[in-house]
């Protein structure tokens, strides 16, 4: 509305005052709209507070929705200087006597000494390839105290470790250049240069990045003779480098049973417990259920609900002292949220058949104000007597009666209950098998050393190192090469290579119909796999859950859509075909609340629907205000025009009156009458 700026032009009429008062009356509908919008904005802000409280509550519930949150164990070493521990939910309570006999270490080998680090070693114009293999050295005479060379030993490549190559040219054929090239190649070897202070002090030291007896190095050199004389290292043959530290496994005992590990992180000696070995010695490891962690989780559950409940009460309650209600008092949406949450908390848990099915059994109960209270004594009793049932009370939990079937997951649509399982097919892996035994185990460069293949839909080529091998050595080298291909590692693809009587088989590590292996070419294909190798694609597992055909993918069976078992995922790792027992599934309180609150907070949830409606109302008010302001501007302009005209008219009347009085005063006889004289 325009600002009033017109005053009377001479009549003395207060046009500004009159129009201002009139416009104040005209503006009353806008004042009503402003108050209504302020109320809606207040509600919108309150809904934001409710949304934040629900999000915080959901975060706590999400953390309690998984089995691992309740099946926690603690493992403690009496002497923590010997080893430290980490327990998982698969740990077995008990006390274990642990002796560490030796620590795992990596092999280190070094070259003969050189006078400088930056002088070229190889002849100019040559290209040399360093090929690294990793494996185990057995038999013969080892170096004394691990320092020196081997005599009469055998080297067996570890097929699980990838081989690697390094190219040496004129630009990097000094000690420094070789060191930098090896480190840049990232092939599992660390290279450094050390000085012993002699006339030829500089030695290139190569150390395997992996510890253990299976990570000893073998280095084949193809190219310059000077580099071969410096770097070639075969523990079973020519050793132009000298071992300075032997690769060895960590060894010891657990409750008298001998253990061995390639690393100092031992995860298989005690079920569900990882031992981080630090030094040689003997100690005890005590594994126990971590009831304190579960107790803390339950306390967090109660606090999270009470925090949410307090926010909802604040928004809806009536304050007798101020005689005012909360901004959302009587709001149907908030009442619906409160009722839904309380209903879920008062519903018993079914599906697993455990001893705990309600919150009251562990000491959680509702108070008169709608909050939850926790009886610590009752909770401790439940933890002592029914620890294994606690997880089912809060998390989504599945259990199976068949040891080769495991619960792998579920969805929000999976209904609690017991489901019968029938397996009609087991998952298999794709593979390719040679049509005949290898023609020759002598691999010659650019003759029969290349193999092209496709594994799980990704194609790649590998090149075997030239040399004379056994069939087992070729299988180990081929597997190592395949699993070292960058494209395969990026895609998470791996394979195993085996041989029987010289007939090679490549098998994908993947299960199911997406698991495929084929030989597509290469100059070594016919030599190693014959003219017509046989490829067999993998198949998915198949079966039914509760009598309804399930969806198979790899080794997983998943309950079909629109069934009670929808989303129930089972891992079938083996066993016989046919009836395979049953699967019990339950959804605990935390899981249900997490799911329910998540739905409330979605863009299609009740909160969004309510706030969208408020925003539409606010927008409607803004539109109506705009229309009213335009109308008021018109009204104001009309009032101003009318009162200006009136002001002008009154002014004219006043001028006319003054003129008449003047004229009358000039008439004879009239003047005395006017003045009252004579």
pLDDT at 3: 44
Indicate whether 145 and 219 sit together in one domain: yes
- 182, 191 contact by CB (below 8 A): yes
Structural tokens at position 618: 């606010």
CATH number for the domain including 68? Answer: 1.20.1330
Examine the pLDDT at 125 and tell me if it is beyond 70. yes
pLDDT band at 664, cuts 50/70/90? Answer: confident
Whether residues 349 and 407 share a domain: the answer is no
Residue 11 is predicted with a pLDDT of 59
- 258 & 370 share domain: no
Q: What is the maximum span of the chain, computed from C-alpha positions, in angstroms?
A: 162
Number of other CB atoms surrounding residue 579 within 10 Å = 12
Give the residue, 392 or 6, on which the prediction is more confident: 392
Neighbouring C-beta atoms of residue 37, cutoff 10 Å: 17
Do residue 389 and residue 414 come from a single domain? no
- Of the listed ranges 167-176, 352-361, 562-571, the least confidently predicted one is 352-361
Instruction: Provide mean pLDDT across the span 576-581.
Output: 96
pTM of this structure: 0.74
- Predicted pLDDT at 5: 44
DSSP 136-151: EEESSBPPGGG-B--B
The average pLDDT across 263-274 equals 94
- The answer to whether 273 and 75 are in contact (CB under 8 A) is yes
Statement to judge: residues 613 and 651 lie in one domain = yes
Number of domains into which the chain is organized:
5
Higher pLDDT, 71 or 553: 553
Within this chain, do residues 528 and 484 fall inside the same structural domain, yes or no?
Answer: yes
Q: Taking CA 298 as the corner, what is the angle to CA 292 and CA 304, rounded to the nearest 5 degrees?
A: 130
Give the helix ranges, DSSP H, for 492-605. 525-529, 589-601
Span 373-394, average pLDDT: 92
Residue 2 has pLDDT above 60, yes or no: no
> What share of the chain has pLDDT > 70, as a percent?
96
Rounded to an integer, the average pLDDT of 342-359 is 86
Using alpha carbons, list the distances in angstroms from residue 434 to 450, 511, 528.
16, 21, 7
As a whole number of angstroms, the distance between CA 166 and CA 183 comes to: 10
3-state secondary structure of 311: helix
Is there a single domain that holds both residue 475 and residue 462?
yes
Please state, in angstroms and rounded to a whole number, the distance separating the CA atoms of residues 347 and 660. 98
Whether residue 60 contacts residue 591, with contact meaning beta carbons closer than 8 Å, is answered with no
* Domain of 555, in residue numbers: 398-427+541-587
Q: Note the Cα 552 to chain centre separation in Å.
A: 25
Q: Which of 289, 317, 352 is the last residue of a domain?
A: 289
Q: Report residue 197 as tokens.
A: 């202070």
583, 396 Cβ separation under 8 angstroms = no
The pair of structure tokens assigned to 96 is: 């274990």
DSSP tag of 487:
H
Q: Extract the tokens encoding 552.
A: 């198979």
Mean pLDDT computed over 250-261: 96
CA distance 82 to 80: 5
Residues 81 and 142 in one domain: no
Among the residue ranges 9-23, 136-150, 404-418, 599-613, the one predicted with the least confidence is 9-23
Whether 2 and 26 map to the same domain: the answer is: yes
Residue 515 and residue 596 in one domain: no
Among 3-12, 102-111, 571-580, the least confident range: 3-12
Which of 632, 630, 642 minimizes the C-alpha distance to 18? 642
Q: Tens digits of per-residue pLDDT, 24-45?
A: 787 788 888 878 887 778 788 8
Last residue of a domain, one of 587, 621, 647: 587
Give the residue from 564, 587, 610 where a domain finishes: 587
Considering the domain architecture, whether residues 147 and 231 belong to the same structural domain is answered as yes
**CB-based contact 449:526 (threshold 8 Å):** no
Q: What are the φ and ψ backbone dihedral angles of 167, each rounded to 5 degrees?
A: -100, 130
Q: Which residue has the higher pLDDT, 647 or 456?
A: 456
Q: 435 and 481 share a domain?
A: yes
């Amino acid at each position: 509305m325009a600002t009033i700026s017109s005053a009377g032009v001479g009549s003395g009429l207060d046009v500004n005052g009159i129009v201002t008062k009139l416009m104040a009356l005209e503006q009353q509908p806008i004042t009503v709209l402003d108050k209504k919008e302020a109320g809606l904005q207040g509600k919108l802000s309150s809904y934001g507070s409710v949304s934040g409280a629900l999000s915080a509550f959901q975060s706590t519930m999400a953390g309690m929705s998984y089995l691992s949150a309740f099946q926690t164990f603690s493992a403690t070493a009496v002497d923590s200087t010997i080893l430290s521990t980490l327990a998982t939910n698969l740990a077995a309570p008990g006390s274990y006597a642990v002796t560490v006999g030796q620590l795992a270490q990596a092999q280190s080998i070094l070259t003969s000494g050189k006078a400088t680090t930056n002088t070229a070693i190889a002849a100019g114009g040559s290209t040399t390839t360093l090929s690294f293999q990793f494996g185990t050295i057995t038999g013969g005479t080892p170096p004394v105290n691990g320092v020196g060379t081997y005599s009469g030993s055998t080297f067996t490549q570890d097929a699980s470790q990838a081989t690697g190559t390094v190219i040496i040219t004129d630009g990097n054929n000094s000690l420094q250049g070789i060191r930098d090239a090896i480190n840049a190649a990232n092939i599992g070897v660390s290279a450094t240069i050390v000085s012993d202070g002699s006339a030829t002090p500089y030695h290139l030291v190569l150390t395997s990045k992996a510890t253990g007896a299976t990570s000893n190095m073998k280095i084949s050199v193809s190219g310059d003779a000077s580099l071969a004389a410096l770097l070639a290292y075969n523990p079973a043959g020519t050793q132009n480098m000298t071992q300075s530290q032997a690769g060895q496994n960590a060894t010891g005992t657990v409750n008298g049973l001998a253990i061995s590990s390639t690393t100092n992180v031992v995860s298989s000696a005690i079920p569900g417990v990882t031992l981080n070995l630090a030094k040689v010695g003997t100690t005890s490891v005590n594994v126990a259920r971590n009831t304190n962690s579960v107790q803390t989780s339950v306390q967090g559950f109660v606090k999270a609900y009470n925090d949410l409940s307090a926010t909802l009460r604040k928004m809806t309650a009536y304050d007798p002292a101020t005689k005012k209600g909360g901004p959302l008092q009587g709001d149907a949406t908030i009442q619906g949220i409160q009722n839904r949450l309380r209903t879920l908390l008062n519903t018993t848990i079914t599906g697993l058949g455990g001893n705990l099915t309600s919150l009251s059994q562990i000491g959680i109960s509702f108070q008169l104000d709608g909050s939850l209270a926790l009886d610590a004594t009752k909770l401790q009793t439940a933890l002592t007597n029914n620890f294994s049932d606690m997880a089912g009370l809060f998390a989504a939990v599945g259990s199976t009666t068949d040891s080769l079937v495991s619960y792998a997951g579920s969805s929000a649509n999976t209904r609690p209950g017991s489901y019968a399982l029938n397996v009609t097919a087991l998952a298999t892996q794709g593979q390719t098998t040679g049509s005949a035994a290898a023609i020759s185990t002598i691999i010659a460069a650019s003759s029969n050393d290349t193999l092209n293949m496709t594994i799980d839909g990704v194609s790649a080529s590998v090149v075997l190192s030239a040399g004379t091998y056994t069939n087992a050595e070729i299988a180990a080298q081929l597997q190592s090469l395949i699993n070292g291909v960058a494209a395969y590692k990026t895609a998470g693809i791996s394979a195993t290579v085996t041989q029987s009587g010289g007939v090679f088989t490549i098998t994908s590590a993947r299960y199911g119909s997406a698991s495929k292996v084929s030989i597509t070419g290469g100059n070594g294909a016919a030599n190693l796999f014959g003219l017509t190798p046989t490829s067999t694609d993998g198949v998915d597992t198949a079966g039914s859950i509760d009598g309804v055909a399930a969806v198979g993918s790899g080794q997983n069976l998943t309950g079909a859509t629109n069934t009670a078992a929808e989303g129930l995922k089972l891992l079938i790792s083996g066993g016989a075909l046919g009836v395979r027992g049953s699967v019990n599934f339950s959804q605990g309180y935390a899981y249900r609340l997490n799911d329910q609150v998540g739905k409330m907070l979605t863009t299609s949830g009740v909160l969004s629907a309510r706030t969208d409606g408020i925003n539409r109302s606010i927008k409607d008010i803004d539109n109506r205000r705009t229309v009213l302001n335009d109308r008021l501007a018109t009204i104001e302009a009309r009032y101003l025009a009318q009162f200006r005209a009136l002001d002008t008219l009154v002014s004219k009347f006043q001028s006319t009156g003054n003129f008449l009085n003047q004229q009358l005063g000039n008439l004879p006889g009239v003047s005395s009458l006017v003045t009252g004289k004579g």
